[in-house]
Amino acid sequence: MKAKEISVIVRTNASMNLSTLFRAPSPLFPPPHSTATSRTNATENIAIEGRNLNFSITTRQGKVVPILQDCSLRIPSGQFWMLLGPNGCGKSTLLKILAGLLSPTGGTMYVKGPKSFVFQNPDHQVVMPTVEADVAFGLGKFNLTNDEVRSRVSKALDAVGMSNYLKRSVQTLSGGQKQRVAIAGALAETCKVLLLDELTTFLDESDQFGVIKAVRNSLDSSEEVTALWVTHRLEELEYADGAVYMENGEVALQGDAASIMSYIRARQSAYIKQINS
């Protein structure tokens, strides 16, 4: 099966799971260990909500290993949030649960649909010969006219700053440009929630900020799109409206980007003091 087909099946299965797996969002709950002030309030339109999400795996020896423990988060519609934390703390696992790619072993969640999961390696989902064909790829299921397809492709490429690349072969694109084409594909399908898994890990600085700015611009040009972005790179936080910080499989803190930045910086300097003492 081609990679592109896998990504489309992922999208389809994810929305099919919504009715069985996701329950209605609760009107209000505070994150369990939050100290930072979040922009959210009870009257806001919530795009992503998880409550006490747990995930564990069972080893071949029958031992249950907890990966996520009581993770709660809530992200308002139209905002760009980041999911940060040390290696192995559970960020990708939580993102995959929110995408419907993994089933939680406990807890409840709601994610507005349609939603799309964008993989770290763009070659896993950008496989059509040209940019135009790739962005149009997922539109077959909508029964659109050629003009409507062209209009959606053009609007989506505009949102990610790739309008001039319409006829380009995808083989000639950089990693970051391919990521932007993958995001445009999701936008063309009128995706409401983008779940983005460490897109910039292997990109150079120029490509890295090209992708972040493309996501930021996509959200700014449509109030309906929400993005959750997993990253290790603290400098990316300045583009976010809010962030969730994880440690050891738990949500340690969630709030506005500045508060999360201060929290992480304080943790880093405490750590540096500790190793220097």
Contact status, residue 41 vs residue 55, Cβ threshold 8 Å: no
Is residue 85 close enough to count as binding ligand ATP by CB under 6 A? Answer: yes
Applying CB under 6 A, among 10, 46, 67, 193 the residue interacting with ligand ATP is: 67
Is residue 61 close enough to count as binding ligand ATP by CB under 6 A? Answer: no
Is residue 88 close enough to count as binding ligand ATP by CB under 6 A? Answer: yes
Is residue 93 close enough to count as binding ligand ATP by CB under 6 A? Answer: yes
Contact window for ligand ATP (CB under 6 A) among 90-98, 141-149, 163-171, 184-192: 90-98
Is residue 219 close enough to count as binding ligand ATP by CB under 6 A? Answer: no
Identity of the residue, 33 or 168, whose beta carbon is nearer to ligand ATP in the bound complex? 33
Is residue 9 close enough to count as binding ligand ATP by CB under 6 A? Answer: no
What number of chain residues touch ligand ATP (CB under 6 A)? 10
Applying CB under 6 A, among 87, 145, 164, 171 the residue interacting with ligand ATP is: 87
CA nearest neighbour of 93 among 108, 106, 103: 103
Contact window for ligand ATP (CB under 6 A) among 23-31, 39-47, 85-93, 188-196: 85-93
Is residue 57 close enough to count as binding ligand ATP by CB under 6 A? Answer: yes
Cβ-proximal residues to 9 (8 Å cutoff; 6+ apart), any chain = none
CA nearest neighbour of 34 among 208, 244, 272, 264: 244
Give one DSSP letter per residue of 137-198, joined into a string.
GGGGGG---HHHHHHHHHHHHHHTT-GGGTT-BGGGS-HHHHHHHHHHHHHHTT-SEEEEES
| Min dist. Cβ of residue 234 to ligand ATP (A) | 13
53: three-class secondary structure by DSSP: strand
Per the listing, tokens 């087909």 go with: 5
Cα Rg for the chain, rounded, in angstroms?
19
- Provide the terminal-to-terminal Cα distance of the chain, rounded to the nearest Å: 55
Query: Which residues in this chain contact ligand ATP in the complex, by CB under 6 A?
Result: 57, 67, 85, 87-93
